[in-house]
Amino acid sequence: MNLHFPTAFQELTPQLLKALGVVASLTLAGFALALVIAMLIALGRLSQSRFLDRILIVFLEIVRGTPLLVQLLYVYYVLPELIKLIMRIWIPDYQLTISAFTAGVIGLGINYGCYMSEVIRSSIAAIDKGQTEAALALGYTNRQAMWNIVIPQSFRISLPTLANYFIMMIKDTSLVAFITLQEIILTTQSYASQTFLTIESYTLAALAYLILSIPLGQGVRILERRLNRHV
């Protein structure tokens, strides 16, 4: 059996570099949305409202109880249809389509936001309540104490774990191939089906993910060591 890695490298690498740009954009946008969702859920669960807490728990169980792939397919195929059904009550000819990129950002953001919310919630709860009481004694409001005193310190606690979630999201972007987004996996599949260089193509795809993940993983470990020195 003859392998043609030089040929595959020469022909597939430009396509993979373009796909890497898609992966980077998708990860950054999805992670930004996940942080917003995680913060909102964490603060909602830490509020005094038991009703809000129960609603959020149900939402978390639904998201964490279904696979990310199913959620991506639901956002891409089902969500536009549901919105059209609702909107056509008022606008009979209403049409809506969600791009694969947008669906990927929404799906990744919601899924990771739910998991990251527990990290943020636990890190906020880990901050000594005496600091909040001291801030209130100095004239801070509850909101000011939370955003100026508690959250900055909790962010330092949760940062290594959140960074690991960021790396995980990079790898999970491979699932958006199922909603037709031209990222690394779909690009590799297309090339392999045309050239039959299956071994070479998927080896290069794996290397592309390693090139992204390994340096980031090393960066997270360095970050953890530096933060531990200042504890």
pTM: 0.92
What count of residues does the chain have? Answer: 231
pLDDT tens digits, one per residue of 138-155: 888 888 888 888 888 888
Residue 206 lies in a domain: yes
Residue 122's pLDDT band, with cuts at 50, 70 and 90, is: very high
Residue 229 lies in a domain: no
Identify the CATH number of the domain in which residue 164 sits. Answer: 1.10.3720.10
pLDDT of residue 5: 86
The number of distinct structural domains making up the chain is 1
b/e sequence 187-202, b meaning 16+ C-beta within 10 Å = bbeebbeeeebeebbb
pLDDT tens digits, one per residue of 153-206: 888 888 889 999 999 999 999 999 999 898 999 999 999 999 889 999 999 999
Task: List the end-to-end C-alpha distance of the chain, in Å, as a whole number.
Answer: 56
Residue 230 lies in a domain: no
User: Please, are residues 84 and 95 in contact by the beta-carbon 8 Å criterion?
Assistant: yes
Residue 27 lies in a domain: yes
Residue 81 lies in a domain: yes
pLDDT tens digits, one per residue of 63-119: 999 999 999 999 999 999 999 999 988 888 888 889 999 999 999 999 999 999 999
Query: Can you tell me the mean pLDDT for 205-225?
Result: 88
Residue 18 lies in a domain: yes
Residue 231 lies in a domain: no
User: What's the domain range around 206?
Assistant: 5-223
Q: Which three-class secondary structure string do you get for the chain?
A: CCCCHHHHHHHHHHHHHHHHHHHHHHHHHHHHHHHHHHHHHHHHHHCCCHHHHHHHHHHHHHHHCCCHHHHHHHHHHHHHHHHHHHHCCCCCCCCCCCCHHHHHHHHHHHHHHHHHHHHHHHHHHCCCHHHHHHHHHCCCCHHHHHHHHHHHHHHHHHHHHHHHHHHHHHHHHHHHHHHCCCCHHHHHHHHHHHHCCHHHHHHHHHHHHHHHHHHHHHHHHHHHHHHHHCC
For residue 108, CA distances in Å to 31, 47, 75, 154, 173 come to 8, 25, 10, 23, 8
Residue 26 lies in a domain: yes
Residue 26's pLDDT band, with cuts at 50, 70 and 90, is: very high
